[in-house]
Structure 1
Amino acid sequence: MRRSNLPAELNRFVGRTIEQAALTALLDASRLVTVVGVGGVGKTRLALRAAAAAQKRYSDGVRLAELAPLRDPDLIEYALVEALDLTDHTPRPPREALVEHLAERRTLLVVDGFEHLVEHCAPLVRELLEHAPGLTVLAIGRRPLRVAGEVVFPLAPLGEEDAMTLLAERAAEAGAPSLPGAEADAFHGVPTPAGAPLHPGTAAARPGGPARGPARTGDRDAVRELCRRLDGIPLALELAAGRLPLLSVEQMLYRLDDRFRLLTDGARGALPRHQTLRTAIGWSHELCTPEERLLWARLSVFPGPFDLEAVEYVCGGPELPPERILDLLGGLLAQSLLTREDTPAGPAYRMLDTVSAYGAEWLAALDDTDRMRRRHRDWYMGLATWCELEWFSPRQPEVAALTEAALPHLRAALDLCLELPEDAHLAQHLAGTLWFAWVGCGRLSEGRHWLDRALALESGHEEARLKALWVLGYVAVLQGDGTAAVAALHECGERARSSRNALAEAYATHRMGCLALLTDDMPRAEELIGRALDAYRELGELNSNVLMAQIELAMARAFRGDQEGAGVLSREVREVCEERGELWARAYALYVLGYLAWTRGAFGEARELLTECVSINDSFRDLVGLVLAIELLALVTVSEGDAEEAAVLQGAAVPVWDTVGVRLFGSEAFDVPRSLCERQAEEALGAEAYGAAFRAGQGLSAAEAVERALVAGRNPAVGGPAEESAPRPFRTAGTATVPGTRKPAGSPTGKGGEAAG
């Protein structure tokens, strides 16, 4: 796990030296510090700098959870789970997983944008602090949480000199002529060429405004007055800076004095700084062209970063031709109304919450909110469908990154589908289509949340319901919730037979076979998965799910001692994956093939296969596949004669399993490599030395465990096999289930949890 998910700063941080030192000191003395202030005053920027400066004091890292995009308070816990890189496949509430995860860790959790969810967020923060003595929370919002022990840090606007410096630097970044102001000369921006035309539609081009002409600088007093009028609010100053390539400081002062006097004075009961901020945003709005204003309003339906293609579809129309969108985005970007960032999914744009809220008011005034939300939903439903198809392709890494980036939008789409009874089928369809996100990208708990809500509604669309049912069954199997899994899969099978939907019936049968595999009923697993594979072949179905069925069948056969049959199935999967560029299922085929190589005594081959498996699973952040491969790699290592390294790898697997869920799914069959390795390593080292090496491994982070496994793979131990390490098949206690002895399925979690299903 990365020690921090704090975003990188895109430009120089100005001022706030005293405030940053004070906030950092408070984090030393208090476990809950809340930075409060008006929107746009710079709360987030300051808090993130303080968090970054303090991160060395937190051995388990600093994590940022952004709550502003959320509408549903039930998603707060999932947002924290995601921020902590916590994967938990158990059916327990995510709050319990959070408490358990944080209980023994020293972590700084930064919670930003909670004010609209404060009634739900405050009790959660209080509970986490009560149960996790090593946890410190840095909250950022417009009002306090009002939790016992909270220290409130009110953030005032910038002082005069810092405000002038910020305005000068941001204006230079925007290409404006240099401004007089503190430290302005030290910042070398690129000036706008003399005679640069004013933006179309500005006040200077209208009757009553200053005469049209080239942008010119004001003197120091004018700059000071502008900063004063904007109350030193960083967002207001940055918006002003975005206009300085086009307007002089005097022109801006004129506009504040004249056009927005009513806006400033007329908001009865509003705090002066709220009035100023609204004035600044309204002023930027007024300076936009009609097309830019319309785009601004429509962009407010995006709850997170968005890309060009999404904007062209969602916001385009007769008034905003798609071919104009790029230029209009550029205009908003130049005015500091948008920011551009590079993400793993590609370039994206982001609109500040305060700016977006202003746009939402205008969209509501246009009576166009509902239509735009539907268009937004339709785009992301289409994106989810494309991602599901492309998951079985060389684009899997791209799909995973795209899904991660689109998560706020997919949540908003699901929310909208669930709002209206007539859209229940869309909720079921979308929740089912996203199976690869719930399973392949480590979000089983959130997937369960959406699937349960969607299936609680009667949609009248059988196909959508059937898909949601087998996906729910799949998720419940991997969570170890056998009762819910059987209920969902039984309903799916019965309804599929009634409606003659052979494909849905095959998926229900397949997932029942997964449940049998995880509960050590290998004969039943073979029978059900084999029947599902026959149906898939007859129906012409071929995708990652089908390949995983073959791998699961190979596992069942390997556990029963049929090494030849398991090898044939696994090699077939690897070949198909190589032809199609599929990586996720390939990693699990490599896992089985690595085991089979170990049974033949081909330790070098086993190590090579498992090292590649570790590398692929790490790239997908697939913790289930990763920890399974590390456990088996430990067995290979002790077989090669390096018992100490094997013990370290076994210890390294423990914290990963703690993140994933119940160790080795609670399965006797999956536990064989671990128990065999433990016995051999302890016999070779002695109990004391084994325990010391094991504890050293436990102290490794997931990233360090991966590096240890990969380094060990490049530098295998030299020496013969350890005593009693002769290869032998993994076997369960018997081929039939003995009443009263079957263990419940465990709770694998982590991206790609299909390792066992």
Structure 2
Amino acid sequence: MDGFAQPMQSDRSPDVSAGLPAELTRFIGREAELAEVSAALGQERLVTLMGAGGVGKTRLALSTARRVAEHCPDGVYFVELSELRDPELLANAVAAAVQLPEQSERSTRSLLETLIAYFGRKRLLIVLDTCEHLVDACAVFVQSVLRYCPQVRVLTTSRQPLDAPGESVLQVMPLPVIDPDEETLSGAEPSDAMLLFAERAAAVVRGFGLTDANREPVARLCHRLDGIPLAIELAAVRLRALSLEQLLARLDDRFRLLSGGSRSVLPRHQTLRTAIDWSHGLCSEQEQLLWIRLSVFAGEFELTAAEEVCAGPRLPADEILECLIGLVDKAIVLRLDDEGDGSDARYRMLDTIREYGRERLAESGAELEYRTRHRDHCLALAEEFDARWLTGDQVAWMRAAWHERASLRSALEFCRTEPGAAGTGLRLVSALWGMWLCTGRHDEGLYWLERLLAQCPGPHPDRATALRVAGHLSLMSGAHARGLELTQQARDAADEGGGRLDAAYVIFNQGLAHTLTGELDWALDQLKDARERFATLGERGGEAWMLGTMCGSYLCAGEYDKALATFDETQPILEPLGERWVQGWVGWIRGAALWGLGRHDEAAAVLRSAVAMCMEIDHAQGIAFSIDTFGWIAAAEGRFERAVPLLAAADRLWERFHDPRLGIPAMHQAHDEAVAAARTALGTRRYEKLYAAGAALPLQAAVDRAVSAPHAAATKERAGRTRGGWAMLTVREREIAALIAEGLSNRRIAERLTISKRTVDSHVEHVRGKLGYASRAQIATLATSHQSSSGTS
């Protein structure tokens, strides 16, 4: 690192970067990469920037060269090799770039020897750009120079490594992008890809800039283009003739659209297709075959999947590994970072590279064959996922399915559009019900189900399953009426030929619907029936799920003690399964029941455990409910500065669903009462400031805030002795407290309010827990004091 630690003194002109081409446009982003490459050049004498065509290797190399130029007092030199075809002329290209004096040439020496003598002990940097078609020649040249010229450093750009001794290879990735379908744009900083597009667009459309109106389409365009700088710059040029919306709509034909770049740009970068053609030409015939067959995978894949789907004529399965290594070496396929869990290596192609392969696959006439094989692979994966869903393998299979989600969507689209494939699509989308439920993607699951069901209108062996899955997704998104309608259709289909498992799930859906609408007796009848059916079928996961839903029924009805008792009955069945999704639900239900009883310390401890399980499997609704309930606890204790950000964070999480909190009236009431108490205590301005801060919290930050603050018993006791104590009570609790002040017993209160005595008992205990009171007399005193201060009777 000594050559880069301090600027060196020299008699040369201070403009040591004169050997670099001028920058005509501003370099955007990549600060972390610039620092990494600069540091690598300080440690190693040969650094290769490797990446796909158009990813920005050259610009990164040039920017790095300018940054480190002060450490190279004898100059930095750029050697562009893309137009050089004869490897024997490599030394000539370098000699021209460094302006080798003619008098230094000797007929008794080769040009390489002359260069080595010229470099001698000079401190300089040579940038060899676009080495992939001259890899062997570049490796020999660099090795010779570095061996005899101890102060020279070399930075190369290539689509594959030189494999020279001492080479440090750094992978250049596309610019970071934001996926509007997975991430929120509100309040987020624009990605580097968006900034690049905006700057290049401003050069062709006067006054163009990022605004609230165009952030979403710009983000979507950059995401569709994989963050590849070349593709983004070519797209920006098209704004001369097209609107942003037209440009986005035409991206499916991106190779025709993104052509005709600047005339000053090298030919291989004037169109996106030419840039990728260049990479294609570097591949062997078998590597080209694997490339086009891998194009059926959207997103990530493993080696075993590639061997299963892509083996065929001229490419046996046992040769796929070597070809895959070749594509990784040429930056056609990216090897993803290991997750540290011992799982197999995963790979992906950028969408632009994949679509190029898909076009060539179509031209070969083999597209239908390999897309069908890919669909069958996805179906097998989905059915294995379904079989493992309510087991101890749940988390691992959830992660596997999530990694494959892009390919699963591609397979579903194939089933939707390929004649005769809709029935297979029904099996595929239904088998993935756990993924749609867990990750909160109910709408996506319903999107595929509704379209595939429409293509299978008559009797079909998979129709009953698909309908009851659609019914369940609708119910769990809060669309109760639609869920019941689909469940009725599922019952009719099951009667016509569905299996016993479908019949059990149909009854479960009916019980769930009554649970969500607060009809306890009806719900319990259905859920008990469903539980017995699952037990008879040996479906322990389904049985545990039914018991968990029964806990939820009692919670929604305010029967907190019964919810806890049913929880105890659930555990011997649920815990041995080792799964996390139902346990996350049941853990939240138990925590909410303890909150309902005013046992806040216990509730907080249970919720911490529940939210940890939910985070482990990305259980979207369980996380949202848990954060919500932490907010209710804080509000009940008068800690409104803590409560409001949590309530806001929960609201933000619920935005993706048809109706927040599953449309459960009791849960809406709990949330609304906490909000009302906080707004009253804090005032509108302070409340809104805290709410905005909470709504902006990233998911992990919201969870950390929810679980971090310990319960403060002293705070609760003080809250009960202040006038704020009355504001902490719900409307129903205030009503009961007022009747206690009138001297009514719990039984008389139940008769007056037309509710069960057990419910009144629970509310009274809840009031005592919130306020830290030991007797009914204290409740009566608080109610009387409030009535006197407010002038009511």
Name which of 54, 57, 66 aligns with 1:41. 54
Question: 533-542 vs 361-370, which deviates more?
Answer: 361-370
1:552-571 equivalent positions in 2, closer than 5 A: 552-571=549-568
- Seen in structure 2, the aligned counterparts of structure 1 residues 133 and 295 have a Cα distance that, compared at 3 Å, is closer
Greater shift in the superposed pair: 470-479 or 138-147: 138-147
What is the alpha-carbon distance in structure 2 between the residues aligned to residue 727 and residue 273 of structure 1?
Answer: 65
Q: Does residue 1:147 correspond to 2:243, yes or no? A: yes
Deviation string, structure 1 residues 470-490 (Cα, Å, up to 9, x no partner): 111112223333443233211
Match of 2:111 in 1: none
3-state SS of the aligned residue for 2:540? coil
Kindly provide the CA deviation profile for residues 338-379 of structure 1, in whole angstroms up to 9, marking residues without a partner as x: 221126575322234555455445544543222111111111
Q: Is the 8 A contact 1:106 1:135 kept in 2?
A: no
User: What CA distance in whole angstroms lies between the structure 2 residues aligned with 1:420 and 1:157?
Assistant: 37
Matches within 5 A, 1:2-17: none
Closer/same/farther in 2, CA of residues 728 and 682 from structure 1, 3 Å limit: closer
The 10-residue stretch of structure 1 (337-346 or 681-690) with the greater mean CA deviation from structure 2:
681-690
Superposition map of 1:136-285 within 5 A:
137=218, 139-140=221-222, 141=231, 143=235, 144=238, 146-147=242-243, 231=267, 233=269, 276-277=274-275, 280-285=278-283
Give the one of 615, 620, 629 matched to 1:632. 629
2:182 is aligned with what amino acid? E
TM-score norm. by structure 2 comes to 0.59
Q: Which of 460, 468, 492 does residue 494 from structure 1 map onto?
A: 492
Match of 1:19 in 2: 25
Structure 2 CA distance for aligned equivalents of residues 416 and 148 of structure 1: 29
Which moves more between the two structures, 725-734 or 336-345?
725-734
In the aligned structure 2, how far is the partner of 1:515 from the partner of 1:296?
A: 49
Given the alignment of the two structures, is residue 64 of structure 1 paired with residue 177 of structure 2, yes or no? Answer: yes
Task: Give distance in 2, aligned partners of 1:367 and 1:356.
Answer: 17
Residue matched to 1:506 = 504
Residue 89 (structure 1) aligns with: none
Distance 2:601 2:334 in 1: 50
Query: Is 1:324 aligned with 2:322?
Result: no
Counterpart of 2:326, as a letter, is G
Who is 1:250 aligned against? none
Aligned in 2, Cα 1:625/1:16: closer, same or farther, shift over 3 Å?
Answer: farther
1:64 is aligned with what amino acid? Answer: V
Instruction: Please name the residue that 1:451 is paired with.
Output: 449
Matched residue of 1:422: which SS? coil
* 2:300 alignment partner, one of 299, 305, 320: 305
Instruction: Measure the CA separation in 2 of the matches of 1:534 and 1:46.
Output: 67
Give the match's secondary structure for 1:349. Answer: strand
CA offsets 1:486-511 (integer angstroms, 9 cap, x no match): 33211110121232633212212211
Contact residue 599 and residue 727 of structure 1 kept, 8 A: no
Contact 1:651–1:695 (CA under 8 A) maintained in structure 2: yes
- Count how many residue pairs are aligned between Structure 1 and Structure 2: 543
Task: Specify the code of the residue in structure 2 equivalent to 1:624.
Answer: Q
Question: Which letter maps to 2:300?
Answer: P
Tell me the CA shift for residue 383 of structure 1: 0.8
Partners of 2:639 and 2:369 lie apart in 1 by 64
Give deviations 1:661-710, integer Å, cap 9, x for gaps: 53434432112432443465567667776666555544544433222112
1:248-290 Cα offsets, whole Å, 9 max, x none, are xxxxxxxxxxxxxxxxxxxxxxxx75785465245313xx1x5
Which residue matches 1:620? 617
Mapped to 2, the partners of 1:708 and 1:648 lie a distance apart of: 9
Q: What is the Cα deviation at residue 714 of structure 1? A: 7.6
Question: 2:361 aligned with 1:348, yes or no?
Answer: no
Is the 8 Å Cα contact of residues 487 and 506 (structure 2) preserved in structure 1? yes
Q: Which residue is 1:548 aligned to?
A: 545
Matched-pair contact (CA < 8 Å) for 1:624–1:660: no
Q: Distance in 2 between matches of 1:450 and 1:136?
A: 24
Matching of residues 569-718 of structure 1 within 5 Å:
569-640=566-637, 642-678=639-675, 681=678, 693-694=690-691, 696-713=693-710, 718=715
| 8 A Cα contact 2:298 2:407, kept in partner | yes
Q: Give me the whole-angstrom Cα distance separating, in 1, the residues matched to 2:291 and 2:370.
A: 12
Partner of 1:9: none
Aligned-pair Cα RMSD in Å: 4.5
Cα distance in 1 for partners of 2:432, 2:519 equals 29
Matched residue SS, 2:649: helix
Q: Could you say if the C-alpha distance between residues 727 and 616 of structure 1 is closer, same or farther in structure 2, counting changes exceeding 3 Å?
A: farther
Q: CA deviation at 1:324?
A: 2.9
**8 Å CA contact retained: 1:111, 1:137:** no
How far apart, CA to CA, are the structure 2 residues paired with 1:371 and 1:149?
35
- Post-superposition Cα deviations, 1:422-445, rounded to whole Å, max 9, x if no partner, equal 222101111111111211122111
Question: How far has the Cα of 1:607 moved from its partner?
Answer: 0.8
Q: What residue is the counterpart of 2:440 in the other structure?
A: 442
Distance 1:451 1:673, change over 3 A: same
Alignment check: 8 A CA contact 2:631 2:643 kept: yes
Matches within 5 A, 1:523-534: 523-534=521-532
Cα deviation digits, residues 170-199 of structure 1 (max 9, x gap): xxxxxxxxxxxxxxxxxxxxxxxxxxxxxx
Deviations 1:122-150 (A, max 9, x none): xxxx9xx9984776725345553622699
Q: CA deviation at 1:575?
A: 4.2
Could you tell me which residue of structure 2 aligns to residue 537 of structure 1? Answer: 535
Letter in 2 for 1:627: A
Question: Which residue of 2 is the match for residue 108 of structure 1?
Answer: 190
Task: Determine if contact 1:108/1:137 at 8 Å carries over to the other structure.
Answer: no
Q: Distance in 2 between matches of 1:311 and 1:437?
A: 23
- Percent identical: 25
Aligned to 2:517: 519
Greater Cα offset, 525-534 or 669-678: 669-678
Alignment partners' CA distance in 2, 1:15 and 1:689 = 56
Contact 1:640 1:717 in 2 (8 A): no
Aligned to 1:462: 460
1:618 alignment partner AA: M
In the superposition, relative to structure 1, how do residues 63 and 547 fare at CA in structure 2: closer, same or farther (>3 Å)? farther
Tell me what 1:388 maps to.
386
Corresponding residue number in structure 1 for 2:431? 433
Structure 1 residue 464, shift from structure 2 partner: 1.0
Change beyond 3 A, Cα 1:334–1:634: closer
Say whether the 8 Å CA contact 2:53–2:276 is kept in structure 1: no
Cα deviations by residue, 1:16-73 (Å, 9 ceiling, x for unpaired): 965344799xxxxxxxxxxxxxx943479989xx9xxxxxxxxxxx98357xxxxxxx
Q: Structure 2: where are the runs of 5+ without partners?
A: 1-19, 31-51, 64-174, 195-207, 223-230, 249-256, 737-749, 757-793
1:82 and 2:182 matched: yes
Q: 1:659 to 1:109 in 2, by over 3 A?
A: farther
Q: Which has the higher contact order (CA 8 A, sep 6+)?
A: 1
Q: Distance in 1 between matches of 2:697 and 2:579?
A: 30
Q: Distance in 1 between matches of 2:352 and 2:609?
A: 46
Gaps of 5+ in 1: 1-13, 25-38, 51-61, 67-79, 85-101, 113-125, 161-227, 234-271, 737-757
Q: State the TM-score, normalizing by the size of structure 1.
A: 0.62
CA contact (8 A) 2:286 2:314 kept: yes
In structure 2, the partner of 1:182 is none
Q: Is the 8 A contact 1:424 1:459 kept in 2?
A: no
- Structure 1 letter corresponding to 2:243: V
Aligned residue for 1:306, secondary structure, equals: strand
2:412 equivalent among 383, 403, 414: 414
Match of 2:12 in 1: none
Distance in 2, Cα, partners of 1:484 & 1:494? 16
Structure 1, residues 276-311: CA drift from partner, whole Å, max 9, x if none? 5465245313xx1x5434323322222223211111
Deviations 1:706-736 (A, max 9, x none): 2211211487775526335689999999779
